Amino acid sequence: MFGVTGDLAQKKLLPAIYDLANRGLLPPGFSLVGFARRDWHDQDFAKLTYDAVRAHARTSFREEVWKQVQEGIRFVPGEFSDPGAFDHLARCVSELDADRGTSGNRAFYLSIPPHQFPVVIGQLERSGLAAQDGRGWRRVVIEKPFGHDLASARDLNDLLATVFPPYSVFRIDHYLGKETVQNLLALRFANELFEPIWNRGYVDHVQITMAEDIGIGGRAGYYDGIGAARDVIQNHLLQLLALTAMEEPVSFAADALRAEKQKALSAVQIPDDLAEGTARGQYAAGWQGGVPVPGFLAEAGIAADSTTETYAAIRLGVDTRRWAGVPFYLRTGKRLAARMTEIAVIFQRAPHLPFNATDARELGQNALVIRVQPDEGVTLRFGSKVPGSAMEVRDVNMDFAYGQSFTESSPEAYERLLLDVLIGDPPLFPGHEEVELSWKILDPIESFWAEAGRPDPYPAGSAGPASADALMARDGRAWRRL
């Protein structure tokens, strides 16, 4: 693992390894090698891992499981540019093959800033670590951001292709590892109820929301210059759109699933008028959870004149027979009123209402809402008669909540994805075509924004900038409440 001292490793990756071990899903010889520019020994990295596990593991702590993990922990100190350090790494993993029976099977996890990908991938090749020499498998795991735009994503894909065959490259989009996101496939394709109405004949529009209540925390270095759209629309939200809009794949094998997502992404249309069909915001000081919080420009490490957006909303079309004319609205933001990710399919109004206008005035549009997080589940909203002598109708919700229907708790996305890397199961990893198609959608929007001046301010703790509400209002619609 490269990037072991980073935020992601400590909060997600190292705890996920422990959780997998605790669930009995790792082989006894599983070994974890950290590589970083620290003057450390194995025990220092073990200590870092231990602290991360105690602070962030999902499953309960068991001494015997920790001992098993700890026995396989090694650390190799060095600079990414130092060939000697990579030779040391190669010796270390060969020793593990001999001592712990890892059989030459290696997954290289790159949780590092993108500008370091070329040097690390080059070193993996030069040192022979990446060589597909028939003695076990060699896989590479790439964390986002997967490029900064279409051109840089292509460069990265080309670079990877010179060292690793396509089936050895695993691009992480952790939203695909979420239970509720996978459940979208079950909901659509295991049932007869939804698919017949999953089209322009019945659907008015789709809203995909990823709202966060947190700010940028200590990630100024990563986030400034990247912004909300590159951070999560290019990957998570467009993947959710693809899964919502795509046709039924012939199977859930990686090739079949990727082919359908690619078709959906290729059919995506950006608004003709980007000023009308997109909105951008940056959080200003405000209140969150009863405490005052600073604005984005006052966060440590952010330039006082930064034009990076912390909120983005985009109206997209999907030009297929199924979806022509149905807008897909995507929005995301930091420091919003609540943390909530959902896909809401909003249906058309009934063509005729045989009720008094006053009796039906509180009736909204039917909706099927896939609640990705928190409060995972699915809600169906429809009109119902209010008890009493009048024929008054009002919206009610029918609810499926994971907590009530299942006793099993959901694994963390990274548990599922790390395990899939180790067993070589790629369907939950986007292919390079999807990554490039997503940048193709985003690039013109980013260029437009780059010329458009400052993002609109919104107070921390609010629902986003007024310009995002105006985008919906122009279409005669409104965002769902956070």
Residues that bind ligand BG6 (CB under 6 A): 212, 231-232, 341
Least Å from the CB of residue 1 to ligand BG6? 18
- Using alpha carbons, select from 139, 107, 134 the residue that is nearest to residue 1: 107
CA-CA-CA-CA dihedral for 123, 125, 128, 132, to nearest 10: 150
- For 341, counting Cβ atoms within 10 Å of its Cβ (0-12 exposed, 13-18 middle, 19+ buried), the class is buried
Give Cα separations from 257 to 102, 235, 243, 261, 420 (angstroms): 31, 16, 9, 6, 16
What is the residue whose two structure tokens read 């007024």? 466
b/e sequence 80-101, b meaning 16+ C-beta within 10 Å? beeeebbbebbebbeebbeebe
The DSSP-derived string for 256-285 is: HHHHHHHHHHHTEE--SSHHHHEEEEEEES
Structure-token pair, residue 282: 């940056």
Residue 148 among the catalytic residues: no
CA gap 287, 417 in Å, rounded? 36
Least Å from the CB of residue 232 to ligand BG6? 5
Cβ nearer to ligand BG6, comparing 333 with 465:
333
Cβ nearer to ligand BG6, comparing 218 with 364:
218
Cβ nearer to ligand BG6, comparing 249 with 411:
411
CA gap 24, 37 in Å, rounded? 32
Cβ nearer to ligand BG6, comparing 316 with 336:
336
Least Å from the CB of residue 32 to ligand BG6? 22
Least Å from the CB of residue 216 to ligand BG6? 8
CA gap 324, 267 in Å, rounded? 10
What is the residue whose two structure tokens read 């699915």? 378
Cβ nearer to ligand BG6, comparing 139 with 334:
334
Are 42 and 1 contacting, i.e. CB atoms less than 8 angstroms apart? no
Structure-token pair, residue 330: 């995507």
Cβ nearer to ligand BG6, comparing 212 with 434:
212
Tally of residues, the chain: 482
Ranked by CB distance to ligand BG6, the top (closest) residue is 231
Least Å from the CB of residue 14 to ligand BG6? 16
CA gap 18, 194 in Å, rounded? 38
Catalytic residue among 148, 174, 205, 236: 236
Q: Which residues contact 43 (CB under 8 A, 6 or more apart)?
A: none
Long-range interactions of 363-371: CB distance < 8 A, separation 24+: 363/393, 363/394, 363/395, 364/395, 365/204, 368/194, 368/344, 369/342, 369/343, 369/344, 369/345, 369/480, 370/180, 370/183, 370/184, 370/187, 370/342, 370/343, 370/344, 371/180, 371/340, 371/341, 371/342
Cβ nearer to ligand BG6, comparing 75 with 146:
146
Cβ nearer to ligand BG6, comparing 85 with 233:
233
Angle at 121 between CA 56 and CA 93, to 5 degrees: 65
Least Å from the CB of residue 25 to ligand BG6? 21
CA gap 374, 100 in Å, rounded? 40
Least Å from the CB of residue 416 to ligand BG6? 12
Least Å from the CB of residue 5 to ligand BG6? 18
- Residue numbers annotated as active site: 236
